[in-house]
Amino acid sequence: MQTTSIHGMWSSRLAFILAATGSAVGLGNIWRFPYVTSDNGGGAFVLIYLGCILLVGLPIMWTEIVIGRRGRMSPINSLRELSDDAGASRKWMGIGFLGVIAGFLILSFYSVVAGWTLHYGFLYLKDLFGGATITDPDATFGSLLAQPGELAFWHGLFMVMTVSVVAFGVEKGLERAVSILMPLLFVLLLVLLGYGMNTGYFLEAAGFLFKPDWSQVSGAMIVTAMGQAFFTLSLGMCAIMTYGAYLPSGVNIPRVGVTVAATDTVVALVAGLAIFPIVISFGLDPAGGGPGLIFTSLPLAFAEMPFGILYGFLFFTLLSVAAWTSGISLMEPATAYIVEATNLSRKAAAICVAAVAWMMGLASVFSFNVWSEVRIGGLEVMDAIVYVANDVMLPVGGLLTAVFGGWVLSSRITHEELDKKMPDWAYNAWLWVTRIVTPALILVVLAGLFGII
C-alpha cells in the first residue's frame, strides 16, 4: 500500500476539504442550480435532488475517494492496480478512461460558460469606473454569443487561469489556489445573501425553493435531479478520485465526504436564496429563467437596484471564482495521467490538456454563431456535448464506480480505507447501498433517459 502520490499530497484534512469542495462548488451550484430549480417547480425538485445526494452522491463519492487513496495514482492507473489486487480484469480501467474523457469534454464547454462570467465581471468593473451600463441585457448577451472571437478570447483566458494553477502541482498549485479562492467564494456568497435578505422578498423566495409542488414531479425531473447531483459533486468524471489520491492516510473518508457534500448542497441552496429574492423583487419570473436567468434576468435587476453595479461585479466575480476552482479539478485527472504515461513534465502535460480542451471548446463557441444551424441528434452542438458528457457519461461512470467499489474491490480494502473503527452495521449499510440501491437508482434514471421506461 502506497502512502504518498508522486504528484504530491494535501498538507491536511482541511486542504482536501477545500479542494474537493472547490471541485464540487462551481457553476453547477451558482449558475445551473437556481435555473434548473426554477424550471422544475422549486421545492419538489430540491427534495428529490437532496435524496439523490444521499442515496447516490455520497456512496459514489466515498467509493471514488477510497479508490483514489488506495491507488495513489491517476484514476486510470489506480483502477488498474486495484483490479490486479482483486484478481479482476484490467478492463475496469475503462472507468478511469471514461471519467477522464467526460471531465475533458465538460472542461471544454464549461470553460466557454466560465468565459461568459469573466466577460460580465469585466463589464461591471468598467461600469464601476464610468463605463457603459448594461441597459438591455438580452441585447448584451445576444451580442456576446454572436461574436466567436470574443467568446474564444474569454474561453481562452479562463483556460490560461486554470492551467496556471494545475501546472504547479498539488501543494504549490492546487492547494495554494483553493486556500485563497474558497474563503473568498464563501465571503462573496454571504455578502450577496445578506443583500437578498434585505429585499423584502426573502420569505417568498424561500417558499419557492422549499415548498414542494408534487404535481411537477416527472421522470424527466428525476433525471435532471440525478444529473445535477452528479454534475455538482464532480462525480463520474474522476475528479474526486484524483483528489483522493492526494489524501493523507489518517483522514476519515466518510467524515470528509459528508462535509464536502453538505457544504456543496448548502452553497447551492444559499445561491438560490441570494438570487431569487432579487428576481422576485423586480417582478421577474423565477419559474422560467433557463440559462438566461443569470445573464439576462439578473442584469435587468442590477440596472435598477441600489448599488447594483457593485453587486453585479461581486456576483460575477463569485461565479468566476466558483468556475475556476471546478475547472482546476476537471483538468487535473487528465494531467496526472499524462505525467504518469509519458516523459512530459507536469507543466507540459497541463499545457497540452489545456490547449486541446480549448480547441475542443471552439465547437461550443461556434454553436452559438457560425454553427448555429448545425444539429446533432436534434440538439445544438454545445447541447449535444453537454448531453453526452453530463447526462450519459457521468451516470454511467458513477454506475460502474459503484459496481466496482461494491462488488469488485475487496472488503478488506474498503473497510480499511473507509475507517477500520467503523461499526459493522455502518459498513454493511454503505455496502448494501453501494451494491444495490445506488446502481438501481442510476439504472432507472438511465432507462428514463433513453426512453425505456
Mean pLDDT within 428-434: 94
pLDDT at 285 over 80: no
Mean pLDDT within 330-336: 97
Grid coordinates in use for 362?
471552439
**pLDDT at residue 148, as a whole number:** 97
**pLDDT at residue 112, as a whole number:** 97
pLDDT at 11 over 70: yes
pLDDT at 227 over 80: no
Mean pLDDT within 220-226: 82
Grid coordinates in use for 218?
416527472
Quote the Cα angle for 313-319-325, to 5°.
135
Report pTM.
Answer: 0.93
Mean pLDDT within 13-28: 90
Amino acid letter, residue 268: A
User: Is 19 within the bounds of a domain?
Assistant: yes
User: Is 8 within the bounds of a domain?
Assistant: no
User: Is 2 within the bounds of a domain?
Assistant: no
Most confident region among 53-57, 284-288, 331-335 by mean pLDDT: 331-335
Q: Are 68 and 75 in contact (CB under 8 A)?
A: yes
User: Is 5 within the bounds of a domain?
Assistant: no
Weakest mean pLDDT among 148-152, 191-195, 289-293, 304-308? 289-293
User: Is 90 within the bounds of a domain?
Assistant: yes
DSSP string, 312-324: HHHHHHHHHHHHH
pLDDT at 321 over 90: yes
- Between residues 385 and 26, the one the model is more confident about: 385
**pLDDT at residue 265, as a whole number:** 87
Mean pLDDT within 305-331: 91
Tell me, what CATH number does 311's domain have?
Answer: 1.10.4160
**pLDDT at residue 334, as a whole number:** 97
* Residue ranges making up the domain that contains 202: 13-449
Report helix angle 13-24 to 308-341, nearest 10. 110
**pLDDT at residue 453, as a whole number:** 65
Q: Are 271 and 29 in contact (CB under 8 A)?
A: yes
Mean pLDDT, the chain, rounded, equals: 90
User: Is 7 within the bounds of a domain?
Assistant: no
**pLDDT at residue 448, as a whole number:** 75
User: Is 185 within the bounds of a domain?
Assistant: yes
Number of domains in the chain: 1
- Between residues 140 and 444, the one the model is more confident about: 140
Amino acid letter, residue 11: S
Q: How confident is the model at residue 125 (pLDDT cuts 50, 70, 90)?
A: very high
**pLDDT at residue 206, as a whole number:** 87
User: Is 3 within the bounds of a domain?
Assistant: no
